[in-house]
Amino acid sequence: MISSAQSVQSVCILGSTGSIGVNTLDVLARHPERYRVVALAAHRQVDALVAQCLQWRPRWAVLADAALAQTAQQQLRAAGLATEVLCGPEALVQVAQAPEVDTVMGAIVGAAGLAPCMAAARAGKRLLLANKEALVVGGARFMRAVREGGGTLLPIDSEHSAIFQCLPQDATTWSGVIDHIVLTASGGPFRQRDPASLKDITPDQACAHPNWVMGRKISVDSATMMNKALEVIEARWLFDLAPEQIRVLIHPQSIVHSMVVCRDASVLAQMGSPDMRVPIAYGLSFPERIASGAPALDLLGCGALTFEAPLRERFPGLFLAWDALNAPQGTTAVLNAANEVAVAAFLDGQLRFTDIHRVNAATLELPLWSRELSGPDEASDGVDDLLAVDALARAEAQRLVAQYRA
């Protein structure tokens, strides 16, 4: 129940047609008295975005280019809607920082979400961050934008929401509380498969996650455990931890979403059925809690909860996280860019599953990075130099994809 003094939150969803976007709208639909949708942004799925606009009647909708926006605008006008359809990356920034918006859900996949998420942070919004790649690329500069903007950054990634839920609300006390954290990982669809048999894996096999229904990019990342590598980097920034304070355990049931091991050896864990509506609802309502629509965990029916150490021979990509965190600033952006290129090539049938790691590791090794990264300008508030590093790494990764494809 909201108090009469509480105003309705105006929400902008970047990536509204994806898995997180749709789950967010599902939670919002349960609480019409608390939330209204002001902006919805997709990339190329015009029909899905138009259908969402017809239901939610936002002030703005955003698509990738002018032709798509015109198609959507015509359909919405014909239906009598006043929604204005904008296009391109600048429009994402515009809606993310608009004064009419209180809360931004960052649910774009990949580094494409960096600029609008940073804009939302700088504008002091309540920023719900699912788009882990934005933080992996933005790093310290992203966190500074959050601090200087004076808004609130709430993690949506299930592991990071779990850690956040285990910690005291006053973030200034976290370093005194945490000895280390344990991020849990499902191990993905190939946890028990002979690594030698992975080279002919198809995209559909890689996307068949055992516990979560997600977009295709993150599903492939779960299969290589690069998802967990990105999450290690994400945790480093969200909770201001040293790389060695972040550990990973495989937990095939995805019920313990992560743990904080405190300085006094107490272990705090957050549990629940694997349903992203739980962290989304918590981000929307923090510090209160609202109904999410997720089923309660059946402790008697869920079976044994087990934990395993991740092996380097099976999941070499995971270990790149610590390598990148211990390298010069900006190396995590290189790793992310290489992985985005490699996963896209794999999904497109251009690269073998096992070559995703080869591309990522080889891109990281190129000596060029230490020169190019010697100085992303720490005084800068922008994203242009970060995106320049991203572009350079993509070009190198594309070259490697072409080499391995041959």
Strands 60-63 and 35-41: parallel
User: Per-residue contact track with ligand DXP, 248 to 287, x per CB under 6 A?
Assistant: ----------------------------x-----------
Half-sphere exposure of 184 (CA within 13 A, CB side): 27
Q: Which is nearer to Mn ion, 50 or 154 (CB)?
A: 154
Selected binder of ligand DXP within 9, 75, 186, 336 (CB under 6 A)? 186
Residue count, binding to ligand DXP (CB under 6 A): 11
DSSP assignment of 24-55 equals HHHHHHT-TTTEEEEEEE-SS-HHHHHHHHHH
| CB nearer to ligand DXP: pick between 88 and 215 | 215
Give the single-character DSSP code of 295.
P
Per DSSP, helices labelled H in 100-201 are: 114-122, 132-149, 158-166, 174-177
Q: Which listed option, ligand DXP, Mn ion, ligand NDP, none, makes contact with residue 258 (CB within 5 to 8 Å by class)?
A: none
Note whether 275 binds Mn ion by CB under 5 A: no
CB of 228 to ligand DXP, least distance (A): 5
**Contact 108/95 with Cβ under 8 angstroms?**
no
Closer CB to ligand NDP, 25 or 42, in the complex: 42
Q: Which stretch binds ligand DXP (CB under 6 A): 31-39, 55-63, 182-190, 346-354?
A: 182-190
Beta bridge partners of 183: 248, 258
Is 188 a binder of ligand DXP (CB under 6 A)? yes
Q: Note whether 51 binds ligand NDP by CB under 6 A.
A: no
Please identify, using beta-carbon distances, which residue of 102 and 157 lies nearer to ligand NDP. 157
Between CA 76 and CA 50 the distance in angstroms is 7
Q: How far apart are CA 196 and CA 180, in angstroms?
A: 34
What residues pair up with 185 in beta bridges, in sequence order? 250
| φ/ψ of residue 140, rounded to 5 | -60, -35
How large is the greatest C-alpha to C-alpha distance in the chain, in angstroms? 65
The interface with Mn ion within residues 111-170 (CB under 5 A) comprises 157-159
Coil vs helix vs strand at 385: helix
Q: Does 234 bind Mn ion (CB under 5 A)?
A: no
User: Does position 185 bind ligand DXP by CB under 6 A?
Assistant: yes
Binding region for ligand DXP (CB under 6 A): 157-159, 185-186, 188, 212, 222, 227-228, 276
Give contact residues for Mn ion (rule: CB under 5 A).
Answer: 157-159
User: What does the binding site for ligand NDP look like in residue numbers (CB under 6 A)?
Assistant: 15-21, 42-45, 107-109, 112, 130-133, 157, 212, 214-215, 217-218, 276
